[in-house]
Amino acid sequence: MSAPAVVGGGPSPRPGEVSLAHRGVLLLDELPEFPRSVLEALRQPLEDGVVSVSRVGGHALFPARFQLVGTMNMCPCGARGDPAVECGCTPQRLAAYREKLSRALLDRFDLAVAMPRPRAVELAAPPGEVSAEVRERVAGARDRLRAARPRRTEAASELLSSAVERLPLSGRGRVRVARVARTIAVLAGAAEVEPAHVAEALSYRMPSELPS
Amino acid sequence: MTEIRRVRRRDAGYPSLLAAIHDPPPGLYLRGNGSPELLDAPAVAIVGARACSAYGRSVARSLARDLAAAGLVVVSGLARGVDGEAHRGALDAGGITLAVLGCGIDRDYPAAHGELARRISERGLVLSEYEPGVEPAPWRFPARNRIIAGMARATVVVEARERSGALITADFALEEGREVLAVPGEITSALSAGTNALLRLGATPVTRSDDVLESLGVVPVRQTVSASLGPEANALLERLRDGARTADELVRLADVDPAQGSAALIELELAGKVALEDGVYRATI
């Protein structure tokens, strides 16, 4: 898939996948398999919410407010992330795989979730919350967030500061964790952002130091 | 890049332990903000495989963290794997670490560790016996290893295959009568074949960082941050002692509430009791 096909453009400008996903979700499966040019081209629409294409014949603005979901394995052989298996990738191969994703692109993701291989117990578990209920919960949280932004308790701020000090977390990372913690607090119906909310937000942080 | 300095063998600043080996380098090039006096500070070498396991990475890092926190300088070779983690562990503890290169002093090798070299040189030193411009070459690495072993009072091998570079470092240390310690590994793992062989030959086994301190006659300082952990954190840590787990597995096995579980995991991580890599938690030593 080429960069114009994803972000839009071409000789007579046409909207790309990011505009087709406007107000929706764009899922890129196997992120590191995309050419680096495509991945880097995503940064501008992610930041601005629009794609602007200039041609001799005129200028086009395509809306592109989408949620980006990307999936990837932890390593080319797929063993990393599973405590029961030892990864067999060479350091060079692992580095080449991960270097496809620039720090600048990774910095634009708010949540990183490790999805371990499901175990039999999990597959046999009863289904979780249904989408309609989640939707209601999220809509309620949005209304509350519009009305008032909860503040962090002193203990929560302390936890965030000590995490920034002890964990490999960038300045941008701190801002992101604070924002995610606020969302978690509002979803939980809490009046203030408590240490537990910050702790949960920290568990979604991007691995900022990829081992090599 | 900071200014490159040089200490020659006849200079007063030349490290005395290194001067005592049978073929000391004629001089050392240095870069970094660390004082050249660091070269003579009590040091431990931590070396091991480049392609190490998650176990090796985690042990190298927490070992280096503890030893640096106890005031020792951590020496290693800036390579991928165990070396890199040893440097990072020392930096985590706010300690001093020295990186010995097998190429010219102006090169960061491997290139992927350029940022790590920069962090090392903020308070420590990067050093090499080779002048600027010398290319990395396979035959220079054993020579580099004699400097790593030569600067340290003790050498700890974390993970090593048979006939690997880390064993060469251990051999140099043995020849010079320095302490050699090895981290035991699974007997079925090729990555531990070298370290287990060292143990069979009489190297001191490392089962906790105090083992290294005791072998050097350094009195272990009890960490002041070992504040009491909450009940959930203790329950999770207990489970992790049985082996590495993902967060989901831990929460299920220990039967704790997921929200409290994630808070407890952060508590453990900040206390340095667990290490997280690729979504997998491990107990540190």
pLDDT over threshold 50, residue A100: yes
Burial class (CB in 10 A: 0-12, 13-18, 19+), A144: middle
| B221 vs B206: CA distance, rounded Å | 17
Interface test mutation site (partner A, options B53, B186, B246, B267, max chain A beta carbons within 10 A): B246
Whose CA is closest to B183, among B215, B154, B157, B153?
A: B157
Q: What is the pLDDT of residue B1?
A: 53
Chain-chain contact of A91 with B84 (C-beta, under 8 angstroms): no
Of residues B53, B270, B277, nearest to A163 (C-beta): B270
| A151 vs B85: CA distance, rounded Å | 37
Q: What is the DSSP letter of B135?
A: P
Per the model's pLDDT, the better-predicted residue between A92 and A16 turns out to be A16
Contact with chain B for residue A88, Cβ under 8 A: no
| A47 vs A100: CA distance, rounded Å | 20
Please state the rounded mean pLDDT for residues A14-36. 92
Question: Which residues of B lie inside 8 Å of A (Cβ-Cβ)?
Answer: 50-51, 53-54, 57, 80-81, 84-85, 92, 110, 112-113, 243-249, 252, 259-260, 262-263, 265-267, 269-270, 272, 277-280
Per-residue exposure over B24-45, b if at least 16 CB sit within 10 Å of its own CB, e if not:
bbeebbbbbebebebbbeebbb
Chain-chain contact of B248 with A167 (C-beta, under 8 angstroms): no
Angle at B50 between CA B111 and CA A74, to 5 degrees: 80
pLDDT over threshold 60, residue A145: yes
**Per-residue pLDDT band at A183 (split at 50, 70, 90):** very high
pLDDT over threshold 80, residue A120: no
Partnered with residue B180 across adjacent β-strands are B155
CB of A45 within 8 A of CB of A16? no
Of residues A80, A196, A207, nearest to B263 (C-beta): A196
Give the gap in angstroms from C-alpha B9 to the nearest C-alpha of chain A: 35
Per the model's pLDDT, the better-predicted residue between A172 and A32 turns out to be A32
Q: What is the DSSP letter of B36?
A: G
Chain-chain contact of B279 with A116 (C-beta, under 8 angstroms): yes
- Ramachandran class of B277: left when φ > 0, alpha when ψ lies in -120 to 50, beta otherwise: beta
pLDDT over threshold 80, residue A209: no
Cα separation of the two ends of chain B: 36
Give the gap in angstroms from C-alpha B164 to the nearest C-alpha of chain A: 16
Per-residue exposure over B234-261, b if at least 16 CB sit within 10 Å of its own CB, e if not:
ebbbebbeeebbbbbbbbbebebeeebb
> Tens digits of per-residue pLDDT, B234-270?
899 989 988 899 888 898 888 888 878 888 898 898 8
Partnered with residue B46 across adjacent β-strands are B156
Angle at B120 between CA B115 and CA B124, to 5 degrees: 160
Q: What is the pLDDT of residue B170?
A: 95
Contacts of A139 (CB under 8 A, 6+ apart): none
CB of B119 within 8 A of CB of B113? no
Q: What is the pLDDT of residue A207?
A: 67
Interface test mutation site (partner B, options A166, A194, A208, max chain B beta carbons within 10 A): A166
**Closest residue in chain B to residue A120, using alpha carbons only:** B249
Chain-chain contact of A95 with B112 (C-beta, under 8 angstroms): yes
Q: Is the ipTM of this complex over 0.95?
A: no
**pLDDT one digit per residue (tens) for chain B, 285 residues:** 568 999 999 998 999 999 999 999 999 999 999 999 999 999 999 999 999 998 999 999 999 999 999 999 999 999 999 999 999 999 988 899 999 999 999 998 888 899 999 999 999 999 999 999 999 888 899 999 999 999 999 999 999 999 999 999 999 999 999 999 999 999 999 999 999 999 999 999 999 999 999 998 877 665 544 457 888 898 999 899 888 998 888 988 888 888 788 888 988 988 888 988 888 898 887
Chain-chain contact of B247 with A114 (C-beta, under 8 angstroms): yes
Q: What is the pLDDT of residue B86?
A: 97
Backbone CA torsion sign across B20, B23, B28, B32: negative
